[in-house]
């Protein structure tokens, strides 16, 4: 598991750097939430929301690959921005609990204005 997380962090940083220049991934983690969601989250520096829009598909492919390697089903992929800005500070892949499937990921709109939905389960 340690190897997969480290490799995932490195891969994400390297792949984004190929297209976007100096992107920095200072921390990546596997998490489990009290509600039942589990996931993979990578803190980002240097990434903007426009970059995420343009490279959405390739970012999704990388994140799905990392989450699969960690045993997390990539059901909901999103970017979190600093409120009121276009700086993306986290990329997250989540395997959803039933509550968050309905409440967090179930709306047509993004659940909150600081969140950009990149992919939803089908």
Partner 1 sequence: MRLMVPHPGHFPALKDIIEAKEAYGLKEVEGVYMGGSPEVMGSGRGVLHAPLLAEIREQTEYAHQHHIKMNIALNSPCSGGHHLTFEGYKTFKWYFNELNDAGVDGVIVAEPYLVELLRDYPMKTIISCLAYVDSPQRARFFEQLGADMITVDTNINRHFELLEAMVKGVSCEIKVIVNEGCLYRCPFRYSHYNLASHLSSLDQPKSPLFAPDFYFDKCVNIRLREPAQLIRSAWIRPEDVKEYEAIGINSFKLSGRTKAVNWIINCMRVYSRRSYDGNLLELLDCPQMLRYIFYIDNRQLDGCIARWKSCSKHCHECGYCDELTREVLTVIK
| Contacts to partner 1 by CB under 8 A | 34-35, 83-84, 102-104, 106-114
Tell the smallest beta-carbon distance from residue 111 to partner 1 (Å): 4
Residue 11 contacts residue 64 (beta carbons within 8 Å) = no
Distance of CA 61 to the CA centre of its chain: 11
Residue 26 contacts residue 14 (beta carbons within 8 Å) = no
Q: Which two tokens stand for residue 53?
A: 């829009």
Tell the smallest beta-carbon distance from residue 21 to partner 1 (Å): 26
Tell the smallest beta-carbon distance from residue 110 to partner 1 (Å): 6
Q: Give whichever of 4 and 114 is closer to partner 1, judged by the CB atom.
A: 114
Q: Give whichever of 36 and 71 is closer to partner 1, judged by the CB atom.
A: 36
Q: What angle do CA 118, 20, 3 make, to 5 degrees?
A: 70
Q: Give whichever of 54 and 82 is closer to partner 1, judged by the CB atom.
A: 82
């Amino acid at each position: 598991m340690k190897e997969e997380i480290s490799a995932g962090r490195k891969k994400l940083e390297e792949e984004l750097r190929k297209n976007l220049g100096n992107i920095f991934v200072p921390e990546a983690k596997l998490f489990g939430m009290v509600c039942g969601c589990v996931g993979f989250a990578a803190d980002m520096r240097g990434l903007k929301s426009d970059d995420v829009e343009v490279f959405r598909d390739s970012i999704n492919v990388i994140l799905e690959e990392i989450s699969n390697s960690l045993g997390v089903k990539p059901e909901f992929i999103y970017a979190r921005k600093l409120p009121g800005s276009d700086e993306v500070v986290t990329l997250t892949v989540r395997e959803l609990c039933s509550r968050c499937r309905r409440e967090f990921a179930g709306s047509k709109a993004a659940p909150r204005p600081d969140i950009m939905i990149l992919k939803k389960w089908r």
